[in-house]
Amino acid sequence: MARILVTEKLADSGLAAMTAAGHAVDVKIGLSPEDLLKEVPGAAALVIRSATQVTAEVLEAGSDLEVVGRAGIGLDNVDVEAATRRGVMVVNAPQSNILSAAEHTVALLLAQARNIPQAHAALVAGKWERSKWEGVELHGKTLGVVGLGKVGTLVAQRALAFGMRLVAYDPYVSPDRARQLGIELLPLTDLVAQSDFLTVHLPKTPETTGLIGAELLGRAKPSLRIINVARGGIVDESALEAALSAGKVAGAALDVFDKEPCTDSPLFSHSNVVVTPHLGASTVEAQDKAGTTIAEQVVLALAGEFVPFAVNVAAAEASEAIRPFLSLAERLGRLFASLNDGLPGSLDVEYQGQISTHDTRILTLAVLKGLFAAGSEEPVSYVNAPQLAEERGLELREVKTATSRDYINQIVLRSSSHSMAGTLSGSREEPRIVMVDGYVVEVPPADHMLVVRNEDRPGMIGVVGSALGEAGVSISSMAVGPATAETGGESSLMVLTTDRPTPSDVVARIAAEEGIAAVHSVSAV
C-alpha cells in the first residue's frame, strides 16, 4: 500500500480506482505552495490538475515520490526535467478531454461568429440590439487550423459540416494525410493571410510560446477571428489586443490565458472578444475520463508496470506490434541478470525478425528494468532504468537484424559470458525462452528456473531430477539443448522450471556431481 496525495478535485471514479487498488488516497485540496512542501513527504504518488505547481523544490521534498499524475493533458505546471533527474515518472491523461476541447472550440467558433454572449448580456440587461450584434456565416469561410493533432483534427472534421474551406499548418503531418482529411497544408504565414477564422491546437513549448504574435497578425485579413482553446501564451495577448484596437483582426474567442486564473485583462474591454475561464475540459464526461485514466496510470506506475501515458519515457506509447513483447523483455532482463550473477559489463540487446522494423526503445527500457530489478535498493521504473545503467557503467548496445533463423521474432541478450533469447509462440503469443548460452531450448519463462550445463552422456537428467526430488522441489517443465558444433560439441544444457527456488545446498550438491560443469539457480522475482 502506498500513500497517494491528491491536491485538486478528481472524479470520484478515479479516487475509487486508486483506493480499490489498495492504496491510501489522501485528498488535500487547496494547498498553498508552502503547505504542499509539508504534505508531499511520504507520498509515493502526487495527483494534480492544472493549479498545483510541481517544482524542483516540491520534487526534492517528495523524496518518496515515484510518480506524478496530471489529470489532463498539459504539463506546463510540472518540472518534467527535474522529475526525470530524480527518477520520478510523470504521467498524464492525454486523451481524456480531446472531444470536450474540440466541442468547446466549435462552440467558441460559433459564439464569435454570431456574437452570442454579447447579445445575451445585452438582452438580459433589457436591451434589444438586433442590428448591433449582426454576425457572419461559417459557410464558405476559410478555417486555419494550427496543429493537426487529435483535437485539431476533430475540429476540422466538424468544420467541414459547416461548409468551411480547411487549411492547416503542421510540419509533422504529411500532405497525403492532410488530403485524406480534406485539408490543404500551408506555411504558417500563408495560413494566417488566407484565414477568416484561425484556431490553435498546439502544446505550449518554448518554440510555440508567442507563436501567434505581432508579425503574424500583421499578415492577417481584417476579417480574421482567432480561437484559442489550447494553451495560454501561444497567442501573444499584448499583440492580439493591439491588433484588435487597430482593427487589424475582427475578433477573438479565448478559453486560455498566459497567466491563470485571469480575471482582468485589456482584452476584456473589447466587445468583439468572447472569453471563458479555461472550460475546454470542463465536462462531466471529460472529468470522469481524466480521473479514471490518471488513476489507472498511477496504479500501474506504483506496481512497476508499463505505463502507456508516461511522458518522460522514450517511446512511451508502445505500438500494438511492440506491446505484447514488453513482459517478455522485462522477464528476459531479470533472468539474464540472475544467470549472469549480477550486472554484466556490457550488454547487447538484439531484435531479430519482424520486430526489428519497429521502434523498440521501450523494449530496451523493459530489459533494463528487469535487469536492475533484483539488484537495486530503489524501485526500478522505465524512467530511472537508463540512469541506473549510466551510473553503474553498463555499456548498452541495441542491434536490429531483419532475419531470424528459427522464429518470426526474437529478442536476444548477450554479454561477454552469457546469452539468452526469447520469443512469443503460437496464436496465443505465449512467451518462450528459446536459447540459453548458445544452446537451443524451448521452455516457458518462470519465476524459478535451474540452468545446468553437463557432459553430453546418459544419466545426467536423472542426477539432476533425483537431487531436486529428494529436496522436495517439483519440476514444472524441462528442455534439453544437446551438444552441437556451435556449442563446442562436448556439453549439453538443461533448463528446468521449478515450483520454488532450488535451495543453495541443493545447487551445490548438483554442481559437485561428476559430469556437471555449471549450475545456475535463476530467478525472475
Catalytic (active-site) positions: 231, 260, 278
Rounded to 10 deg, the angle between the 361-373 and 326-339 helix axes is 40
Instruction: Decide: 143 and 165 in contact? Cβ < 8 Å.
Output: yes
Distances from the Cα of 453 to the Cαs of 104, 368, 449, in angstroms?
66, 26, 13
- DSSP conformation class of 129: -
**Residue 402 in grid coordinates:** 531483419
Count, residues in the chain: 525
CA-to-CA distance for 107 and 373, rounded, in angstroms?
50
Dihedral Cα 499, 503, 509, 510, nearest 10 deg:
30
- Which residues lie closer than 8 Å to 449 by C-beta, 6 or more apart? 335, 443, 495, 496, 497, 498, 521, 522, 523, 524
List the beta strands (DSSP E) in 295-414: 346-353, 395-401, 409-414
- DSSP conformation class of 84: H
Alpha helices in 98-206 (DSSP H): 98-114, 116-124, 150-160, 175-180, 188-194
CA-to-CA distance for 157 and 180, rounded, in angstroms?
11
